[in-house]
Structure 1
């Protein structure tokens, strides 16, 4: 019965979102309440369960998520993202232009969420493609590969941030391992995949694309943009702080760091919330105030950043509600009992569940959160590296982007592809990224 109720809840969720076009957050709350009743949760207890799911999820990630959105917006509005992109493109040169796009998109993608990074970088990609007389998709695949990898593997992006909190994984370890996994994944799904597509779908390299729907993108002059070094430092600062804390803890464990006070300071600065707070303060000063931008203008950028992610926060909270209903309803415990005594890998289990839910629901974040409700009880009885299970969940939640995913339509429209071409390229790219991520997680699991 627990599995049947869960399956019925997922089908109803798909029906409400895809067929009835009901808002995703509202759909999640409705389905969660009905599933709670079906699971036999007492009616007086049900509202508290819904609230606990919402608060438990957002209470952990809202600060990181909100400050991360502000950081990306401040960097973009100051011209830092454009400086990073244009400098790398200039340094790599025409023959290695794809690798320039890969590196630039990866760095910018750390600070910007997928949709925001796509909207910001795609005008640059189209401008460079016109100058070099190549198809936009030739540079678009490397850009999409980098943005997708940072989105599914690296905090402060919503998927890995939320799942790390739900599993109790160390955020710094998730970030460090995530970078190790993301780099080869991007190489495979970016430049290498582009060459493969030329063989079986050459027609996409004749498409001119259309980004008129983005309006007139803002391009900065050289004088208006901050320096390359300070732009890189600002975008990478939260990553540097979190990884530094992780390395310091590793050094402590092997006996090479004996200063408790130094370790406390490093861990404090490397805490994800504090790292994001330090980074946004640093960005506001060096990219804006020091260069003469009025504080009111900077704060307007921060306000717009929060407004743009408001619905995403609610959807994440709604996913947390659904996750909590699954846990309270005993689904996770039931599944854990089914696998008790078996040798199934928690990494494979998490990836499989996330992949199935991603294909069904469309939203990578909702799929990852729903997976947590099923996997958390299993982790209690298994010996697994929580950071790697987090990354496996993130990899599974990005598989097979198709018509129920907003990213699918953005790629289709901006690059001027047909439905068939989008399935044969973007859907395949996201699937390869998911499978590659799983393979590299399993390889890493043999060494850590």
Structure 2
């Protein structure tokens, strides 16, 4: 399905986007001008069109859909009042935002509540996700929220048990839509849509556009569908400086410690693929005298929330996180992101490094790459259309030998060598350990 392209807007103010006066007064004072994705998306959403919006991580996607939702809900409430509907019971939720992780759900909720809390019209936003006692959420639902922010699993459980109704939903947002697909949530999303009216506005927001999402958008978006691209698809924020170092696989932890001690960054987010490795690396950093902690999906929700809060408050210097957490970590002015290993999925690289250089700030992304990750690096180069040359790290000579031809950007150029038999067996074990199935299962 082909989406018509919007005209490119000039630099606009929030008032010129069509938002109501009450919402404009409620905006935080730091928001002077809308970002490009907000300029492109807000008028289209206010016009009632279905939308696929593609924009880089940290470019303001939450308010790009959040402000029009708040606008529509406040308008609906005011219309009810004018029609003398004070005695009519509060309606079920009018808008739903589905996100892939608990941390992202909390982040979105907090961002929208910051604005909604300043409105003169009372507006209730409800967060629904796992890891929170069901009884607490049921009690909060008695307040009849007009806007829901939820993870698919918890919301589906509530719908099946008839604790909540989605029959009044007029606006559906799939935030981080690519991640919802990648993490296997689409079957749950389809089941949830069966609880909603067929006639509703559907909005998909994403930083990357895998083929599966492109196909899905063509089927899901039917009401004057519009596709907007605030930046080139799958691109990396220009304010991010990327450095990639070739190191021995067994030297990565030592190299990480050396970098942290050398530069003394106030805050560093380290990404790693395996849950068990995250705990081990955090302990190693702690022994090296750094305030470090691990964050992954197997930790209790209370621990996850406290760990993230401690990191944001600078009580933790180094946070070692798995990709499950990549979409929910938002820290203002986070200076550095380090990939201790490259992600198996190239789009995840874009999301990982997008945790820095948010909202126009500058940031640094460092990746420690071993010979066994060359195929992954090639995929990342292809997706982002960036050269991403490899450099050598001082005091960490590379003694491992490549098992296959190294791409043009590699330090050694195009070299084809063979490992001794024992190294081959070790490499097979490594590949098996970090296969796609093992990678997903250990989040």
Question: Per the shorter chain, which TM-score range?
Answer: under 0.3
Question: Higher strand share goes to which structure?
Answer: 2
Question: Higher helix share goes to which structure?
Answer: 1
Normalising by structure 1, we get a TM-score of 0.26
Point out the structure with max Rg over C-alpha: 2
Normalising by structure 2, we get a TM-score of 0.26
**Higher relative CO (CA 8 A, sep ≥ 6), structure 1 or 2?**
1
